[in-house]
Amino acid sequence: MSDQSAISVSPSITRPPRSALHLWPWLAAASSGLLLAFCFAPWNLGPLCWIALTPLICAVWFSRPTKRDGLRKALLGYVTGIVFFTATFYWLGTLGILFGEFWLRGLSLLLALYMGLYLSFWAWFISRLHDGVSRFTHSSGNIATALLGASAWVAHEWVRGWLFSGFGWNGLGVALHKDLAMIQIVDITGVWGLSFLVTFCNLMGVIIVRRLLAEIGPIFLKRIRWEFSFTMALIAAVFAYGVRTLMHGNAAEPATTVRVGMIQPNTKQTEKWSADSENRIFERLDLLTTAVALSKPDLIVWPEASTPRGMFADETNYSFIMKQVEQGDFSLLIGTVDTDIDRREDYNVATLLNTHGTQLQTHKKMHLVPFGEYLPLRTAFPLFAMVAGELVPSDFTPGRQFTVLTLPKPAIKFSALICFEDTLGDLTRQFVLNGAQLLVNITNDGWFLETAGAEQHLHNALFRAVENRRPLLRCANTGVTCSIDRFGRVDRWYEPFREEVQPAREIRVPINTAHTFYGRHGDWLAIGASLVTGLNIAGAALRRRYAA
């Protein structure tokens, strides 16, 4: 009797609970989200990107199918997206502290609820590429599967960068920002090429392991498997291109030298809005500008929104700025606000003052930040506008021209990218096509306090220098003030979140205005990947229709 009892209970002891079997795919999806987040600041574990997607891929391909399997696989991707975007953009919650609004502390989660849909789409797409039974025994089919999956990833990243104004930060390729050899390929493909390669390797890693496990036995040494060789050859080709570029890129080329001084006032957002702090801000800007002017710069750069109000807002601000530019024979680039009275339009602008302020050139910011510089659907949803209107009382108007500014001494042309504009590849290249030899970004990352937001901004921006082979200067209020050469090497001028200034530095600006392949053709890879993805979905739908 006791023996029978022992036999009857043993299965329940040795067999894992059914709930655990159903739970592992969701844990795997969540772990992919965490691994993706660890690739970016503040953790900066970039090499994790090569394996970050594998738990999600395994969960999608190898978990037990259900009646609504497509929906379930999409939800697995959604879990990955929510975890990733909530964790990596946690710094958006600092707006809740600045504005005193509790609901804003959960802004990263609210954003993730939307942006998670992109990873949901990708998980659904790759679920169609594997039936859960195949052992991946054909090399050509395996390579095609990984190519299609990588194309779908690039497609969703590209769409995320422009749909509903877009927020394309922290694409998978950005995780490789420290790997100088690998990132050189972006002058051909844009950062999309890196995202494609990393996703391809994640997919192929799962496929190769699954095939090897399936073929262990008598036929193991009798089969030729091209997947590993093809993957390694692809990585080697990208790496070799990067090494060759770095080795030969330092060869002497025609260039001119510009002496540039950048100031970092470290003005807190709460301080900027306070009338009691106005004189302190003026004194700080005056002190820092006077200090750098002693080193006889050709150009002094102030960050975005440096003064308490815009340059043209009142006589106090206008007179103060004109006093600064009269200190020496230099040009002054500032971020300010301009108004077209006739059209009743306000613009976030970068203004260049030459020859002691007698000449002004202006670039109007083209890519506005939703909920920061304008309120989406303000007129379509009046009730929503009443609630959110306290945070965004009025809207800026986007600029319409890729204005290139001219520095008289030495005679060079440069673009003034405002705030997040330096994270947009296609927008930046338009300035280069218009003749910009130098890229200058003015930004105010003080909105996000002392968080990783400023570091993430830098890591997304440095690819603009490599894509266009133009040096990039970044002047930040509280973020990362630095110079980036045309190969992506970062020279940090000051410590972030500190008030600092140094003598002007010499920046080599190329005279040769040749354009890169990416500069001429833009997001060709992302558009092509999107077409491939769309055609694959459309073809599958047609096949199902005719099969029925």
List strands edge to edge, sheet with 412-418. 405-407, 412-418, 438-443, 472-476, 482-484, 490-492
Report whether 250 contacts 162 (CB < 8 A).
no
Report whether 126 contacts 60 (CB < 8 A).
yes
- Give the model's pLDDT for residue 384: 54
Task: Find the farthest-apart pair of alpha carbons in the chain and give their distance in angstroms, rounded.
Answer: 104
- Give the model's pLDDT for residue 521: 98
Grouping H, G, I as helix, E, B as strand and the rest as coil, residue 162 is: coil
256-369+391-511: which CATH number, 3.40.50.300, 3.40.710.10, 3.60.110.10, 3.40.50.11540?
Answer: 3.60.110.10
Q: Which residue has the tokens 């990585």?
A: 235
- Give the model's pLDDT for residue 382: 61
Q: pLDDT tens digits, residue range 288-305?
A: 999 999 999 999 999 998
User: Alpha-carbon dihedral of residues 161, 302, 340, 400, nearest 10 degrees?
Assistant: -30
b/e code 177-187 from CB counts within 10 Å (16+ = b): beebbbbbbbb
Report whether 264 contacts 291 (CB < 8 A).
no
- The helix or strand, by DSSP H or E, that contains position 438, with its residue range, turns out to be strand 438-443
Which residue type does 162 have? W
Q: Going by DSSP bridges, is the β-strand pair 331-340/482-484 parallel, antiparallel, or unpaired?
A: unpaired
CA distances from 236 to 100, 243, 488 (A): 51, 10, 20
Grouping H, G, I as helix, E, B as strand and the rest as coil, residue 28 is: helix
Grouping H, G, I as helix, E, B as strand and the rest as coil, residue 292 is: helix
Report whether 88 contacts 37 (CB < 8 A).
yes
Q: Provide the β-strand partners of residue 298.
A: none
Within a 13 Å sphere around the CA of 171, how many CA atoms are in the beta-carbon half? 31
Domains of the chain by residue range: 18-249, 256-369+391-511
- Give the model's pLDDT for residue 68: 86
- Give the model's pLDDT for residue 527: 98
Distance CA 265, CA 481 (A): 11
- The helix or strand, by DSSP H or E, that contains position 354, with its residue range, turns out to be strand 345-354
Distance CA 368, CA 348 (A): 9
Report whether 362 contacts 335 (CB < 8 A).
no
User: Under 8 Å CB-to-CB from 362, ≥6 apart: which residues?
Assistant: 338, 349, 350, 351, 352, 403
In the numeric block, which tokens belong to residue 282? 């003026």
- Give the model's pLDDT for residue 213: 87
Mean pLDDT by runs of 10 across the 548 residues of the chain is 43 53 91 98 97 98 88 97 98 86 87 97 95 82 96 98 92 98 98 98 96 78 80 97 90 87 91 82 94 96 90 89 91 92 88 90 92 68 56 80 95 96 97 97 91 96 97 94 97 93 95 91 98 96 84
Residues 125, 129, 135, 139, CA torsion sign: negative
Distance CA 465, CA 171 (A): 17
- Give the model's pLDDT for residue 222: 61
Report whether 60 contacts 10 (CB < 8 A).
no
- Give the model's pLDDT for residue 275: 77
Distance CA 116, CA 33 (A): 10
User: Alpha-carbon dihedral of residues 54, 57, 59, 65, nearest 10 degrees?
Assistant: -160
Q: pLDDT tens digits, residue range 86-96?
A: 999 999 999 88
b/e code 122-155 from CB counts within 10 Å (16+ = b): bbbbbbbbbeeebebeebeebbebbbbbbbbbbb
User: Under 8 Å CB-to-CB from 414, ≥6 apart: which residues?
Assistant: 404, 405, 407, 436, 437, 438, 439, 440, 509
Give the helix ranges, DSSP H, for 337-490: 382-388, 425-433, 453-468
In the numeric block, which tokens belong to residue 198? 């990393």
Grouping H, G, I as helix, E, B as strand and the rest as coil, residue 443 is: strand
CA 454 vs. chain centroid, Å, equals 12
Q: Which residue has the tokens 């993957």?
A: 231
Beta-sheet strands, E only, within 40-135:
none
CA distances from 217 to 100, 207, 223 (A): 65, 18, 11
Q: Going by DSSP bridges, is the β-strand pair 438-443/472-476 parallel, antiparallel, or unpaired?
A: parallel
Report whether 347 contacts 396 (CB < 8 A).
yes
- The helix or strand, by DSSP H or E, that contains position 207, with its residue range, turns out to be helix 192-214
Distance CA 470, CA 437 (A): 6
Report whether 339 contacts 346 (CB < 8 A).
yes
Distance CA 155, CA 148 (A): 10
Distance CA 159, CA 186 (A): 18
